[in-house]
Amino acid sequence: MMLVINAGSSSVKFALFDADLTQVLSGAVSEIGGKAELDIGGDRHPATAPDHADAMDLVLSSLAGRGHPVESLTAAAHRVVHGGTAFSDSVRVTPEVIAAIEAQIPLAPLHNPHNVAPIRALADRAPDLPQVAGFDTAFHTTLPEVALSYAIPADDRAAGLRRYGFHGISYAGLVEALRADGRLPPRLLALHLGNGASVCAIRDGRSVATSMGYSPTAGLTMGTRSGDIDAMAVLDMARRHGIDATSARLNRKSGLLALGGASDMRALAAANTPEADFARAHFIHWAVAHAGSVIAQMGGLDALAFTGGIGENDTGIRDAIAGALSWIGPVPIHVVHAQEERTLARDAARILAAARPEIS
């Protein structure tokens, strides 16, 4: 069995896959450090998890209770948000890889520490279990230099200030799903629309443009993230509120929440207030604006693909975006179920199979 871990700042989501990459069980430990809750297979109950290491203990014990002890696991795969320029593909975890992931913490201080914690915890508890790390940024390492570079002084660019792009694991899974059934076109506009949202221009299966940049805050209006905002406006906010408070405002208090009073698109649709309607319209406007930009960078469009919670389930948002892009002409529109956990499991299986010596 392959264990897939997707750790956030206050949660550890997990999924278990068999040898055929069929998901057999999933769950999460939420509210780590607070009133924690364990969900395994839909069964929820209070738990104690002061930190991510304790959360991993809960995951392993709950799996054992369902007949999947740690000894039955063949490998573990982990989602890591930021790989910087160090990683262009999933890799088997080694001490050197852990050090390289931790070296990216200045680029993703809100994410990478929490991504590394379960890797270290699992290594302590099952030192012989192979682990693989997959990176949200890896899919976008094919961006051309002109698309990833900011027009800022050379020493700032050398310090790592550039476009990285995110949601790469989701986009990689989307590409694989469309390729598997012969629907992957030469020029694909993919939209990952959820609490985090982005667009990606995918040419011949490779990322050539994307809306997120140095951080996941850039690009589209999101659940609690601002999306694009003028740099001088950010500096004004920092002057008035301080740097840390401004970061919190842009990442946790902006977006749909700031405009409509809720970060959940379903709640906004049900609210039927002018503010909620404006928030939905704002989301659509900037999704279309960024879509037009990346279509131009691809030199045209052969198909649209939607994924993520909003992209898959909110037909009003989806139809509004597709309708606003109808000037391009009729193109196929695909709705693809997000399968980040399965993509991580598939990549881990590939990496580990390639590392096995052939028997002659």
The per-residue pLDDT for range 280-315, each reduced to its tens digit, is 999 999 999 999 999 999 999 999 999 999 999 999
> Which residue has tokens 């928030």?
279
Rounded Cα distance between 75 and 52, Å, is 19
Looking at residue 357, its pLDDT comes to 52
Same domain, 322 and 213: yes
- Tell me the Cα Rg of the chain: 21
Asked if residue 124 belongs to a domain, the reply is yes
Answer whether 142's CB lies under 8 Å from 203's CB.
Answer: no
Q: How many C-beta atoms lie closer than 10 Å to residue 289's C-beta?
A: 16
| 158 assigned to some structural domain | no
pLDDT above 60 for 359: no
Q: Domain boundary at 135, 163, 196, which?
A: 135
Tens digits of per-residue pLDDT, 229-241? 999 999 999 999 9
Tell me the pLDDT tens digit for each residue of 84-137.
999 999 999 999 999 999 999 888 887 899 999 999 999 999 999 999 999 999
Looking at the domain assignment, is residue 153 inside a domain?
no
CATH for 313: 3.30.420.40
* 96/192 same-domain check: no
**pLDDT tens, 137-181?**
999 999 999 999 999 999 999 999 999 999 999 999 999 999 999
CA angle (223 as vertex; 222, 225 as ends), nearest 5: 60
Distance CA 3, CA 352 (A): 14
Q: What is the mean pLDDT of residues 237-253?
A: 96
Q: Are residues 88 and 196 in the same domain?
A: no
Same domain for 90 and 222: no
* Partner residues linked to 304 by β-bridges: 189, 333
| Mean pLDDT confidence for 339-359 | 86
Cα gap 69→61, rounded to integer Å: 8
Q: Let me know whether 191 and 298 are in one domain.
A: yes
pLDDT value, residue 9: 85
Query: What's the mean pLDDT in 260-266?
Result: 97
Q: Are 195 and 273 in a shared domain?
A: yes
pTM: 0.94
Instruction: Assess whether 258 and 129 both reside in one domain.
Output: no
Whether 84 maps to a domain, the answer reads yes
The DSSP symbol for 224 reads S
How far is it, in rounded angstroms, from Cα 156 to Cα 142?
Answer: 21
Instruction: Dump pLDDT digits (tens) for 66-77.
Output: 999 999 999 999
pLDDT in tens, 187-225: 999 999 999 999 999 999 999 999 999 999 999 999 999
pLDDT mean over 1-13: 94
Average pLDDT, the chain: 95
Q: Is residue 360 part of a domain?
A: no
- Hey, which residues are catalytic here? 136
Tokens of 62: 């709950």
Q: Verify that 25 and 129 share a domain, yes or no.
A: yes
The CA-to-CA distance between both ends of the chain, in Å, stands at 27
Quick check: is 113 in a domain? yes
Own/partner long-range contacts of 143-151 (Cβ < 8 Å, ≥24 apart):
143/207, 143/208, 143/209, 143/210, 144/208, 147/208, 147/209, 147/297, 150/214
**How far is the CA of 252 from the CAs of 5, 229, 231, 294, in angstroms?**
23, 15, 18, 26
- Tokens 């299966």 correspond to what residue? 205
* 193 plus 128 within the same structural domain: no
Domains of the chain: total: 2
Is 357 part of any domain?
no
DSSP H or E stretch at residue 77? strand 75-80
Q: At what angle are helices 243-252 and 231-241 packed, to 10 degrees?
A: 120
Amino acid at position 74, single letter: T
Axis crossing angle, helix 340-355 with helix 168-180, rounded to the nearest 10: 80
Instruction: Compute the distance between CA of residue 267 and CA of residue 223 in angstroms, rounded to an integer.
Output: 11
Mean of the pLDDT values across residues 21-39? 95
Q: Which residues contact 295 (CB under 8 A, 6 or more apart)?
A: 189, 201, 301, 325, 328
Are residues 237 and 116 part of one domain? no
Same domain, yes or no: 129 and 217: no
- Beta 187-193 vs 131-135: how paired, if at all? unpaired
Whether residues 197 and 301 share a domain: the answer is: yes
Expressed as residue numbers, the domain containing 313 is: 185-340
| 235 in a structural domain | yes
